[in-house]
Homo-oligomer: A and B are copies of this chain.
């Protein structure tokens, strides 16, 4: 049966569960965008390519595959950063870039949007993706599409497809069915690894499961949740994985993030004699700027790329097979009751202050917990919006998304577009600093355009507060914006300004009535107000320093995580 190259790409994306494509039009991609508009896929165009890139990243995290379509050069290179983040945090984003036609490449040395040579953009994306292809040959186009999409799915990493504009409508034979071969575990090695792990877990005094981001990416979260419940082994998550487990679940310890996290969680986790890390990325951000102290000899560490049981490395064992082995009968059930749990507040409205009390980050987050509902997806931008979230038990919310490792500011607002497209019956709750908001906040225009209704809470403290803690200077100040004027500019949305606890109450009440538009809450904070998590980090670093901790390590950690951050 005949199809076109563009048509086959669209068909395969649908078969992978994609229903939305994010992008910005440009002449080299118009033909393909036209095909998309004629297909069941929905095209969402954003203000700037950066917004489309972040939206596709969030969509990919929730949906298993996300797509961003842009034009050549001026479009593609604008999403180098969002693609870099997708790579660092294992988000399967398919970058589709329109490109000059094969005929143009042959005839014209200098064409608009071209940087250096026709393959400059391809070479850039080779650095930022797990697989890259140029569909310049009709005979191989279908197999190339299948190859790179398989890499995206199997490795949960971004891939790059360059589509010359004269190839979009090029007729090809539709392959019978795509040939995809997933790598398989070696049965003997798998059995040995599982046996060793199970034996160790059963003799351990205080095993702890660390629930990692890859479990989500590879659809293993349900099976591991069952393992937690049947084995009775308590679990923690790192920041990247926050929200993967309902945080009021009886087996949940709290977020483990070195000194950034709660002290009782840190002590319990670091005191474990068998840390079962499943799909966890060990990064500086995840681990509270290296304040975490984890001994590899006491860890079972299983990821897509590598399996270590203590100091034994096992090769050719797939993550899903190892997880299946652990979950099979073998691990003896136990009853643990003395582990830490998220503190219960009798009435958050009390701990959060009342009436004319000035609003603080701590009060805001105390109040947010009971406000979360089952249909919410929480999106936190790097900076204190993210750090403060460590202490926000995400119980009711459907998911929690944050670029907790790569930490690119400006993610959360455009990510809300992707999140609500991926989960149409959800409502995104965005937590974002004022500095970040100046980067991508105008993408609320895209929400207005498509009738999306995120609730956006801007933590306004007059600049890059987390950075002030590292090294302050005029460069950490930003121009103050009057966010109450944003709905009038964008032609949609509502906004509230919050100075006191009472204002917050009023704003949340108004926000809970949904009207199909974004709702913006500007929370005016003191310039020096920081979250309890950041306070903890500072205290512990100070303690470590006076205890004579290795100086380079302190110096490194004394730069709080999050890179350039707001709060």
Interface set of A (CB-CB < 8 Å, partner B):
23-28, 30-31, 33-34, 37, 43, 45, 47-48, 50, 71-75, 77-78, 80-81, 84-85, 87-88, 101, 103-104, 107-116, 120, 123-124, 127-128, 281-285, 290, 405-410, 438-440, 442, 445-446, 448-449, 464, 467, 470-471, 473-476, 478-483, 485-486, 488-492, 552, 556, 559-565
List of 10 A-B pairs having minimum Cβ-Cβ separation, nearest first: A26-B564, A77-B81, A80-B80, A84-B115, A110-B283, A449-B479, A47-B438, A74-B408, A485-B489, A48-B439
Whether A27 pairs with B406 at a CB distance below 8 angstroms is: no
Q: Which residues of B contact A471 (CB under 8 A)?
A: 30-31, 34
CA A309 – CA B31 in complex, angstroms? Answer: 41
Write the nearest CB–CB distance from A374 to chain B, whole angstroms.
Answer: 30
**With contact pairs A26-B563, A81-B77, A101-B556 given, residues A405 and B110 touching in the complex (Cβ less than 8 Å):** yes
Whether B103 pairs with A71 at a CB distance below 8 angstroms is: no
**With contact pairs A474-B43, A479-B446, A489-B482 given, residues A27 and B75 touching in the complex (Cβ less than 8 Å):** no
Which residue of chain B lies nearest to A407 when distances are taken between CB atoms in the complex?
A: B112
Which residue of chain B lies nearest to A111 when distances are taken between CB atoms in the complex?
A: B284
Whether B406 pairs with A481 at a CB distance below 8 angstroms is: no
CA A475 – CA B35 in complex, angstroms? Answer: 12
Whether B406 pairs with A112 at a CB distance below 8 angstroms is: yes
Number of copies of this chain that the complex holds = 2
CA A446 – CA B439 in complex, angstroms? Answer: 12
Partner of A113, one of B28, B111, B563: B563
CA A372 – CA B548 in complex, angstroms? Answer: 67
Write the nearest CB–CB distance from A475 to chain B, whole angstroms.
Answer: 4
Write the nearest CB–CB distance from A318 to chain B, whole angstroms.
Answer: 22
CA A111 – CA B285 in complex, angstroms? Answer: 7
Whether A73 pairs with B489 at a CB distance below 8 angstroms is: no
Whether A74 pairs with B116 at a CB distance below 8 angstroms is: no
Whether A442 pairs with B438 at a CB distance below 8 angstroms is: yes
Write the nearest CB–CB distance from A275 to chain B, whole angstroms.
Answer: 17
Partner of A30, one of B73, B127, B467: B467
Write the nearest CB–CB distance from A557 to chain B, whole angstroms.
Answer: 11
Partner of A479, one of B439, B445, B488, B563: B445
Q: Which residues of B contact A409 (CB under 8 A)?
A: 74
**With contact pairs A27-B467, A30-B467, A480-B491 given, residues A475 and B445 touching in the complex (Cβ less than 8 Å):** no
Whether B111 pairs with A120 at a CB distance below 8 angstroms is: no
Whether B25 pairs with A476 at a CB distance below 8 angstroms is: yes
Q: Which residues of B contact A108 (CB under 8 A)?
A: 284, 290
CA A33 – CA B405 in complex, angstroms? Answer: 23
Partner of A27, one of B110, B127, B563: B563
Q: Which residues of B contact A464 (CB under 8 A)?
A: 25
Whether A440 pairs with B48 at a CB distance below 8 angstroms is: yes
Partner of A74, one of B128, B467, B564: B564
CA A500 – CA B128 in complex, angstroms? Answer: 49
Whether A73 pairs with B115 at a CB distance below 8 angstroms is: no
Which residue of chain B lies nearest to A560 when distances are taken between CB atoms in the complex?
A: B27
Whether A475 pairs with B81 at a CB distance below 8 angstroms is: no
CA A471 – CA B31 in complex, angstroms? Answer: 8
Whether B475 pairs with A481 at a CB distance below 8 angstroms is: no
Write the nearest CB–CB distance from A477 to chain B, whole angstroms.
Answer: 8
Q: Which residues of B contact A290 (CB under 8 A)?
A: 108
Write the nearest CB–CB distance from A55 to chain B, whole angstroms.
Answer: 15
Whether B474 pairs with A483 at a CB distance below 8 angstroms is: no
Q: Which residues of B contact A440 (CB under 8 A)?
A: 48
Partner of A81, one of B80, B116, B446, B481: B80
Whether B489 pairs with A479 at a CB distance below 8 angstroms is: no
Question: Told that A33-B475, A34-B471 touch, could you supply 9 new A-B pairs with CB distance under 8 A?
Answer: A25-B476, A27-B470, A27-B559, A43-B474, A74-B85, A78-B80, A110-B284, A110-B405, A113-B408
**With contact pairs A564-B24, A564-B71 given, residues A115 and B88 touching in the complex (Cβ less than 8 Å):** yes
Write the nearest CB–CB distance from A49 to chain B, whole angstroms.
Answer: 8
CA A45 – CA B464 in complex, angstroms? Answer: 12
**With contact pairs A73-B81, A116-B87, A128-B116 given, residues A110 and B481 touching in the complex (Cβ less than 8 Å):** no
Q: Which residues of B contact A47 (CB under 8 A)?
A: 438-439, 478
Counting chain B CB atoms within 10 Å of each CB, the highest count among A34, A442, A479, A552 belongs to A479
Q: Which residues of B contact A408 (CB under 8 A)?
A: 73-74, 113
Whether A74 pairs with B563 at a CB distance below 8 angstroms is: yes
Counting chain B CB atoms within 10 Å of each CB, the highest count among A37, A87, A284, A405 belongs to A284
**With contact pairs A108-B290, A113-B406, A120-B127 given, residues A481 and B490 touching in the complex (Cβ less than 8 Å):** yes
